[in-house]
Structure 1
Amino acid sequence: MSLVQLEWIRAWRDPVMRIMLLLFALAAGFAVLAGARWAAEREALVTQAVAEADEIMALRRTDFAALLAKGEKPKFGLVYATALPFRAGLPNAPLALLSAGQAESYPAAASISPFIDPDTIFDAHAAGLESPIVLAAGRFDLAFVIVLLLPLLLIAATYDFWSRDVESGSARFQLAHPVQAGRLILARAAVRGGGMLAAMTAIAVTALLIAGAREVASLALFALVTSAYGTFWIVLAILINLFVRASTTAALAMGTAWLAVTILIPAMSAAAANLGAAPPSAMAYTNAVRAAGLEVRAANAVAARAAATAASGRAYPASLWHSRREIQQRDSRLRPLHEAYRRGRSEHRTLADRLRFLSPAVVTQDALDRIAGTDATRALAFQAQARAFAGEMRLLAFDWMDQDRLLTLADYDSGLPRFAFAEPSRAGPLTRDVAALLLIASLVLTTAAFRLRGGPAKLL
């Protein structure tokens, strides 16, 4: 019987191993169900928000047709291109049920109109997002199970796989046989830890498949990230078992490592990011934008009253031409505020992104968010694309104004231009995340290898 077969029999005779896998299966199943429900609710809200523009246009078309049937002139909001409504929405990624991630901290839809500032198109869909409760709240999703619960179960399976034998004295008897100490320890860690990790990864993938996940590439990436993260905890257990000689000490060391990696280091990294590049205040930014907008409006109050009664001699009234000039002044005034705010947020995110590599737990969470499509990068890409679309729709409306072109029934029937989200590439960030996890695990394993080179005497 080979060494691996012997260790396999020895490990899986322990009923606790089977109980832990059952508990993990229950936790993963519940997490996937909760994630699927959250993803469905979010998709429904985004779909509803995007459909709002079509609903508005359908109601206006009904009024337009009714007025034409009566031989009456269509009303103000029915013929002017500057009143066109547009919507943009961020669709769910195929594996959105995996992780709520940072998606709840960013608006998933935008309400767009030619005269609305492109930087305020998300305001109607961002209610409550800056609440500390929302920002601090987490969801019991599968990413939570992988990042926090999976290492605890691996620790329970491996924390004393060698130190227990050293403590009981049986390690001397084992090393007296013609077997290399390093091979024995690695085989035992691979069987107990690797077996548990493979089983839990398979359970998690199966839960996702049952919930309806079908994108093979995303499932493969999920399995790869989970395996890389679990490997880190297994090699950490090897390292600790090589240095301690009592089970209680090993348990305390592994528990402390879990607390540091999943709680303390992420918290300290976040604090360091806030100190090194403090994010700008959203409240101060909102107040500054509002104040600047009011100043522009006040400066144009006299001209606005004059335009309300003036005749333009064109298809669009003088009041709309005045509004066009005013919003161009407003945008020019607000542009430095918007750029400064985005620059401050970008500097903070850049520093936080660098510090995340201090904790394998944070790297894993970010990788799972990217796989789920709920990461900040995707949300910010949506905002940038929605702002660009808003700018294009403004130019379209202004072009119609310049041509004195009014909306017709045919324009209502042809439909509005549609926003289409272009997925940002995730290959580079995910490659860095997996490489970072494997590099950290390799460094820990290298340290353990140096310990093994000291010979059996160092291990007893």
Structure 2
Amino acid sequence: MSASLRHEWRLLSRSRWAVAALLLLLVLASTAVWSGLREVERQRDTIARMAELQRQELAAQAPRLTRKGDVGTVGYYSHPGTWDPPTSAAFLALGLRDATPYVLRVHALALQSQLHAGESFNPELALAGRFDFAFVAVYLLPLFLIALLYDLVSSERQAGRLATLLALPNAGRQLWLRRAALRVGLAALCVLLPVLVGAAVSGMPVAALAVVVIAVLAYVACWAGLALLVAMRGGSSVANATALMGAWAVLTLVLPTLGNAALNRAVPVRQGVELMLAQRQAVHGAWDQSREETLARFFKTYPQWQHTAPLPEGFHWKWYYAFQHLGDVSVAPQVAAYRDALVARQRATEGLGFALPGVGLQAVLHRAAHTDLLAQLAYQDAVTAFHTRLREHYYSYLFDGKPYGLDDYARLPRFEAPAVATGLPVAPLLALVPLGAALLALGARAAGRVARS
């Protein structure tokens, strides 16, 4: 450490409020990381406990369900479990894992009503959100940077030392940048040090950790540059603090809310509950339709079963499972449009990150943690694929009229968790880094004008 930097450190360490602010930031970041690690561990324990209970339930059900060899009864009462395990980086930003199920039991009946039943929750419970690292980094970190930088020049002016400082050798741009760099560097260290510890504990991949560190540093650069621009313009401490707090409210609260409202109008998305209701209406309506017509429509999707024996009088599982599947087929266009709209809104939200650094950082953290919309859709795809394997496993016995025994039950398909995407959030990172570099360069340039004033 150079002599000038050691001198700045001694000056900073004498400021009790600055040291207290840095310690508080370290405590908040550490608490957020610890809370995220605990939540991830709780979710993993829940998944492991569910898997064990599932194994015990299937073992207990097997003799009873297969006693008569009726595959329709087995498919109706068996509910194999599916799960979406958190990644090693999920402790940073829990994202949609707070509001959508990461454990879901499915059976061979219509799928859409099972996929979207988890959306029925009390919105007030999710209103406050989760206290995780993403919250600290996006909303609280700028406040600490503002507190450390807003009176960088005005405090010297109010104390009557500014003219003397400007008369000292190397007291121009270098002085202000040195002071700002020390404060900003310590704030960044207080935020990132818990992340490095948490990444080591969770086994987070180095590439994902590097992306997170770069994104946080770029976000720090955005607010440091903005704070320098305001602090160097010659206003009083009160005026600087008011301006920066107004900028924080606009950039982190007002504009993201307005942008989200605009996206909701520009890219309307139907609720998953609507798909569930539409699918259920199609299924309930099938009870009043011709059974032969229902099977004929089913055989258009599965022609390999069209030579099955004719339906007997009364109820038969073949007809029941056929119209259950046709309920999903009836809403397939709406499901595709629903998913396309969700992805379009996700891309548009990432586009907001080119102008709003907080949105850009959230996009990077959620993508790196695999807790965003794309991760949720990947889990739904895995559940859909498993549901298809489950149905077709039963179909081979149902339409061929084969009895279903214990050995067949042991070959019941098992769910495989979706593979974690290896891609990194390049697009939102490319939006955040140039923005941070530009604002920091403008702030550094403003530091030179203090010396000339």
Pairwise same-fold verdict (TM > 0.5): yes
Aligned residue runs from structure 1 range 322-333, under 5 A: 322-333=319-330
- Give the equivalent residue in structure 2 for 1:112: 106
Are the counterparts in 2 of residues 90 and 108 from structure 1 also a CA contact under 8 Å?
yes
Task: Quote how far apart the aligned CAs of 1:138 are.
Answer: 0.7
Question: Cα distance 1:99–1:445, how it changes in 2: closer, same or farther (>3 A)?
Answer: closer
Q: Give the unaligned 5+ runs of structure 1.
A: 68-73, 305-310
Give the 3-state SS of the residue equivalent to 1:23 in structure 2.
helix
| Letter matched to residue 226 of structure 2 | L
Q: In the TM superposition, what are the counterparts of 1:131-146 in structure 2 within 5 Å?
A: 131-146=122-137
Q: 2:213 maps to which residue?
A: 223
CA–CA separation in structure 2 for the residues paired with 1:321 and 1:103: 37
User: Which residue does the alignment assign to 1:71?
Assistant: none
Q: Distance in 1 between matches of 2:442 and 2:59?
A: 68
Question: Counterparts of 2:388 and 2:151 in 1: how far apart (Å)?
Answer: 61
Moved over 6 A (4+): 301-304
**2:23 matched to 1:26?**
no
Counterpart amino acid of residue 251 in structure 2: V
**Cα distance in 1, alignment partners of residues 403 and 119 from structure 2:** 33
Q: 1:104 is aligned with what amino acid?
A: D
How does 1:269-348 map onto structure 2 within 5 Å? 269-300=259-290, 312=309, 319-348=316-345
Paired residue for 1:122, among 103, 115, 126? 115
Question: Compared with structure 1, are the counterparts of its residues 101 and 269 closer, same or farther at alpha carbon in structure 2 (3 Å cutoff)?
Answer: same
The secondary structure found in structure 2 opposite 1:183 is: helix
Alpha-carbon distance between aligned partners in 1 of 2:123 and 2:354, rounded to the nearest angstrom = 25
Closer, same or farther: CA 52–126 of 1 in aligned 2, 3 Å: farther
Q: 1:353 to 1:36 in 2, by over 3 A?
A: same
Task: Please point out which of 192, 196, 200 is paired with 2:187.
Answer: 196
Name the CA distance, whole Å, in 2 between partners of 1:425 and 1:142. 22
1:411 is the counterpart of 2:413:
no
The match for 2:80 is 86
1:116-150 superposed Cα distances (whole Å, 9 cap, x missing partner): 2233332454441xx33244231222322222222
How far apart, CA to CA, are the structure 1 residues paired with 2:145 and 2:230?
14
**Percent same amino acid at aligned positions?**
23
In 2, distance between residues paired with 1:278 and 1:136?
21
SS in 1 for 2:82: strand
Query: Could you give the per-residue CA deviations for residues 379-433 of structure 1, whole angstroms, max 9, x where no partner exists?
Result: 1111122112212332333234455443333334456433231112341x2x333
Q: CA deviation at 1:175?
A: 2.4
Cα pair 1:175 1:456 within 8 Å, conserved: yes
Q: Distance between the aligned counterparts of 1:225 and 1:446, measured in 2?
A: 17
Cα distance in 1 between the residues matched to 2:187 and 2:323: 65
Distance 1:297 1:340, change over 3 A: farther
- Unmatched 5+ stretches in structure 2: 295-307
Any idea what SS the aligned residue of 1:110 has?
strand
Asked if 1:352 is matched to 2:341, the reply is no
For residues 216 and 325 of structure 1, do their structure 2 counterparts lie closer, same or farther at Cα, with a shift above 3 Å needed?
closer
Q: Which residue of 2 aligns with 1:213?
A: 202
Q: CA deviation at 1:88?
A: 1.6
- Give the whole-Å Cα distance in 2 for the aligned partners of 1:275 and 1:80: 45
Change (3 A) 1:15 1:80: closer
Alignment partner, residue 376 of structure 1 = 373
- Measure the CA separation in 2 of the matches of 1:403 and 1:84: 20
- State whether residues 119 and 387 of structure 1, in contact with CA within 8 Å, keep that contact through their aligned partners in structure 2: no
| SS at structure 2 position matched to 1:151 | helix
Counterpart CA distance in 1 for 2:434 and 2:375 is: 26
2:247 counterpart of 1:257: yes
In the superposition, relative to structure 1, how do residues 49 and 455 fare at CA in structure 2: closer, same or farther (>3 Å)? closer
- Structure 1 CA distance, aligned partners of 2:42 and 2:173? 51
Deviations 1:194-231 (A, max 9, x none): 2232233224534x269x43335254444333322222
Q: Secondary structure at the match of 1:407?
A: coil
Distance 1:451 1:154 in 2: 17
In the alignment, is the contact (CA less than 8 A) between 1:163 and 1:244 conserved in 2? yes
Per the TM alignment, residue 50 of structure 1 is displaced from its structure 2 partner at its CA by 4.5
State the alpha-carbon separation in 1 of the partners of residues 344 and 362 from structure 2: 21
CA contact (8 A) 1:81 1:401 kept: no
CA distance in 1: counterparts of 2:215 and 2:384, whole angstroms: 33
**CA distances 1:41-71 after superposition (whole Å, capped 9, x unpaired):** 3334434444554333201234379x5xxxx
Query: Is the 1:314–1:404 Cα contact (8 Å) retained in structure 2?
Result: no
Instruction: Give the distance between the partners of 1:277 and 1:262, measured in 2 at CA.
Output: 22
How far apart, in 1, do the equivalents of 2:33 and 2:194 lie?
Answer: 11
Deviation at 1:299, TM superposition (A): 1.7
Aligned length: 437
- 1:301-347 CA-partner distances (Å, limit 9, x unpaired): 7989xxxxxx95899x9712222432343333222232233333333
Say if 1:105 and 1:134, in contact at 8 Å, map to a contact too. Answer: no
Q: Shift in Å at residue 35 of structure 1?
A: 2.7
Amino acid at match of 1:346: V
2:235 aligned to which of 236, 239, 245: 245
- Structure 2 distance, partners of 1:341, 1:418, is 25
Asked if the contact 1:280/1:341 (under 8 Å) is kept, the reply is yes
Match of residue 303 from structure 2: none
1:61 partner amino acid:
A
What TM-score, normalized by structure 1, do the two folds share? 0.83
Contact 1:292-1:333 within 8 A present in 2 as well: yes
Cα distance, 1:378 vs structure 2: 1.0
Q: Residues 29 and 448 of structure 1: is their aligned pair in 2 closer, same or farther, counting only changes over 3 Å?
A: closer
* TM-score w.r.t. length of structure 2: 0.84
Aligned residue in 1 for 2:437: 442
DSSP 3-state at the match of 2:316: helix
